[in-house]
Amino acid sequence: MVNEQIITKAKQWLNPAYDEQTRNRVKWLIDNDSKELDESFYRELEFGTGGLRGIMGVGTNRMNVYTVAMATQGLCNYLKKTYPGELLKAAIAYDSRNNSALFARKTAEIFSANGFMVYLFDELRPTPQLSFAIRHFGCHTGVVVTASHNPKEYNGYKVYWNDGGQLVAPHDKNIIAEVQAIKGIEDVNFDGIDKLILTVKEDIDEAYLSKMKLLSLSADAIERQSDLKIVYTSLHGTGITLAPRLLKEYGFTNVLTVAEQDKPDGNFPTVHSPNPEEPAALALALKIAEQESADLVMGTDPDSDRVGIAVKDNSDKFILLNGNQTGSLLVYYLLRRWKELGKLDGKQFVAKTIVTTSLIEKIASTYKVDCYNVLTGFKFIAELIKNLEGKKQFIGGGEESYGYLAGDYVRDKDAILSCALIAEMTAWAKDNGKTLYNLLIDVYLEFGFYKEGLLSLTKKGKDGSEEISRMMEQFRTTPPTELDGSKVLLVKDYKNNTIKDRATNSITETGLPKSDVMQFVCANETIVTVRPSGTEPKIKFYFSICGILKTRDDFEKENTALDARIEALKKVFA
């Protein structure tokens, strides 16, 4: 039985202010599908600290032109209060998902109706290019319509500030308050002004690519290894627009793409999920790589802010690297080349999130480069870059979820640039007689054998959200005392800003903004982190362990042992 309040709420969507297709769908739900009606209207689609993300459809809890319009109006209201009297500017981009172009256009119309000068991309483009465009055009804000790597039913709306980074405090909470103050579509100014909407064309591609080329560190190695055979897939997303082109401009002449996945398509017909973190997503690319005896496989997600890679092991078999491994290799390569080129002077830094491998911190320490840990979310790395601007130079960094960045031209994770640098790193390694696989083993030998794992439990809908909240509260009130055969020494509660040291029974502050995250640090350096996903209906468990790799011959044995420890940890929390 559907709650009468939900039916009343749904009936408000039957008035003529909503389009006929929407009204017909809502009426059908009222008459025929009480469960979907409940899910569609039981709450407002939450405008979180990053914007909107949800299943597409009618209703207050769905992504549609009306929820997008109300979110945009709230954003406009806040910007007009923040910058009174200024000519406000906004950049808008979108990915290959169904309805992305529609939502982007509606966003542009609302901005223009509120007097904003709008820079609207005329075709789909990667998310990092939107970040770049905000500073390039001198915008106050930016929006990219994307649900990143979520399933095809989803779409989203990510908001950026004038530094090209996603929203952080205090703007995030302030904008949320303004969006929540929008009570309905009657509060939205829908009267778009066409002359205020400027079309962004290919000139922005040239500007972006020219800056990305400046970040190359091994042009000589690429010249000698220009025929490195690379297989790239855009997974029906935006990457096809720029990744092959940047690889070519870096000097790579032998780049193969996956024809079946080159065409942008919001239904993602060749994959179950367009997520390069999942092995199945790269299956077609791997098949071509094996047939062509390629050196490297890379795949980007629909909005091109994440990249997954595969490399050959010592048996000439392709294996997938996880985000921590790729990130560690990239940071190692960047720091080593910076040192070899005489560019390190103590004024540089790298950054990672608290759930990303400690190996990056160990590498940075060896090179005497500061490594900052931030909360999960690349926006905190962007905030750090902004805060240290003029004081320290950002070399690179990333997060375990396959997102990396070098340089500061972009202020979000950038899979287009990452593809070019990963290919360059592969060429540099080959130029030195090594594969990336062997380079990774070298890193483990020198810095320690760190291994990570992830367990994601999906909890959909209203009941799932409530269950995740209960689970987090239980970890907060009764944290584990032992994990991985080792005592838990530190209990970090980022929501309450506390670190409890069980050895001394003392409590200190985390030094980071408050966030619904729990972290348990053991005596043997094992770290387990628990957090609800900010973009998906999941609760995530991050496992980090370390061992000692004494010789190259011990790699397989030690790797198996570490994997077994991670699997044992997963069983504890599954």
Tell me the DSSP string of 189-222. Answer: -----GGGEEEE-THHHHHHHHHHHTT-S-HHHH
Phi, psi angles (nearest 5°) of residue 373: -105, 130
The gap between the terminal CA atoms of the chain, to the nearest Å, is 33
As annotated, the active-site residues are 148
The token duo for 516 is: 């619904």
CA 106 to chain centre: 24
Give residue 201's identity as a one-letter amino acid code: K
Task: Write the CB contacts of 212 (distance below 8 Å, at least 6 apart in sequence).
Answer: 246, 409, 416, 417, 420
How far is Cα 358 from Cα 527, in angstroms, rounded to an integer? 10
Burial code (b: 16+ CB inside 10 Å, e: under 16) for 265-282 equals: bbebebbebbbbbbeebb
How far is Cα 14 from Cα 36, in angstroms, rounded to an integer? 17
Taking the CA atoms of residue 25, residue 31, residue 35 and residue 37 in that order, the dihedral angle to the nearest 10 degrees is 40
Whether omega for the bond prior to residue 170 falls within 30 degrees of 0, making it cis, is yes
How far is Cα 91 from Cα 508, in angstroms, rounded to an integer? 42
| CB-CB contact of 120 with 139 (8 Å) | no
DSSP3 helix / strand / coil % (the chain, rounded to 5) = 40, 20, 35
Strand-strand pairing, 51-55 and 154-161: antiparallel
Length of the chain: 574
The token duo for 362 is: 């160990």
Output DSSP code: residue 344: -
Tell me the DSSP string of 504-541. Answer: TTEEE--SS---S-EEEEETTS-EEEEEE-SSSSEEEE
> Of 198, 488, 193, 435, nearest to 315 (Cα)?
435
How far is Cα 307 from Cα 127, in angstroms, rounded to an integer? 13
**SS3 per-residue string spanning 358-396:** CHHHHHHHHCCCEEEEECCCHHHHHHHHHHCCCCCEEEE
